[in-house]
Amino acid sequence: METNGRSNTVLVAPTESTDTEINPWQSAAHRFDEAAELLGLEDGMRKVLRQPAMELTVNIPVVLDDGRIEVFTGYRVQHSIARGPAKGGIRFAPDVTLDEVRALAAWMTWKCAVVNIPFGGGKGGIICEPQLMSDGELERITRRYTAEILEFIGPERDVPAPDVNTNEQTMAWIMDTYSMHKRYTVTAVVTGKPLELGGSLGRPEATGRGCLFVTMQALKKLGMAINTTRVVIQGFGNVGGMAARLMSQQGFKIVCIVEYDGAVYNKHGLNIEALQKHKRDTGSIRGFPEGEDVDKDEALLMDCDVLIPAARENVITSSNADRVKAKILCEGANGPTTFVADAILADRGVFVIPDILANAGGVTVSYFEWVQDRQGYFWNERMVNERLEEIMVKSFDDVVGYAERHKVNNRIAAYMLALDRVAIAIRKRGLYA
């Protein structure tokens, strides 16, 4: 790796329109450019790494339950396969865009490189409203989408996984559709599957557990004690809910949970299991008898030690970054902080654990699942969790050590480290002509 003598450059937050700031592809591009410049990456390599290797758009005809035919648009983007098969989830949502899928695919490339697992980055999505669709309609749209991208996925080429509004059942449909076309069972084509179909123990908890491991490392780094650490978590689903439960068990004080419809606060710490039961029973965290309802936007800005945005993109922006009071920002979601907000947080001394490190527990255990499927030998949960902790702790040390050596913030250090690893792979392979 080489630097260009500019590692001490002070980077000022760019002035951008709101639309540009919250565009995930623009955010990914800005961070790439900043890291590539500080890394001294040659112009040709920048061109190779900046753009996705492949973008596929498919039109998916589906017969709905009432007999009507509807056509949905789907995407699959492979950003890089330099270090191994593309890896990344598939999301179903009405606001899926190609720019979003591009950005998420790129983030997956950098995420896999940061934790040093042999995958590249991919991502997929279908524009639909899954909450308005029956299970039968969801199965048909999933299977037809799989058939349309069949030639572009596979254990050695591109390995999908669950994401927003998809789950282990969705992965089972993909695996079955792929296997029917291949005429034999191919469990390693997807990860995040049911245990009965080759899934891995520890996978549902993996992203939240990874957030726990890196947060504990940050506390050690900053000399903070777990039992006095106040945590605010945005999101109470698979990532945020799991992080809340695991951190509470370790002695963290979870003072606030934030959801799309409100937030609940208790200065002494919330009973996470009771809150999860309350949400199951009522459909909301609001009205929890052991806490008080507070404004969801203000909750992100309350005085706390750790803030974990674990729900969606663009929640910390230029409009509120200067009011974030957390000492540590651990990004459980993909892209929760805009590139404009980065410099504001850095200027205020917030210790950021960037998304491509903080939430990499999920893809790490997905890698374990892929390995187990290919071996036909499955690990116990203790082994999964121990190996996850080993990778997350080492990756945290790699990123923070890189930041200190090159005098950059943790996010740019993570990007520089990832770009360097992918660039090394490309240089060693050479360019086929």
Q: What amino acid positions are annotated as catalytic residues?
A: 123
Amino acid symbol at 166: T
Q: Is 154 exposed, middle or buried (0-12, 13-18, 19+ CB in 10 A)?
A: middle
User: Which has the closest alpha carbon to 259: 291, 231, 284, 230?
Assistant: 284
Partners of residue 63 on adjacent β-strands = 69
CA dihedral 347, 351, 355, 356 (to 10 degrees): 100
- The half-sphere exposure of 286 on its side-chain side, counting CA atoms within 13 A, is 9
Partners of residue 124 on adjacent β-strands = 76, 90
Neighbours of 81 (CB within 10 A): 20
- Phi and psi based region of residue 398 (left: phi greater than 0; alpha: psi -120 to 50; beta: remaining): alpha
SS3 131: helix
Strands (E), 310-399: 328-330, 351-353
What are the distances in angstroms from CA 303 to CA 155, 217, 232, 326, 349? 46, 21, 9, 6, 15
Q: How far apart are CA 97 and CA 77, in angstroms?
A: 11
Q: How far apart are CA 152 and CA 170, in angstroms?
A: 18
Q: CA 356, 358, 361, 364 torsion: positive or negative?
A: positive
What are the distances in angstroms from CA 273 to CA 238, 248, 433? 14, 9, 58
SS3 314: coil
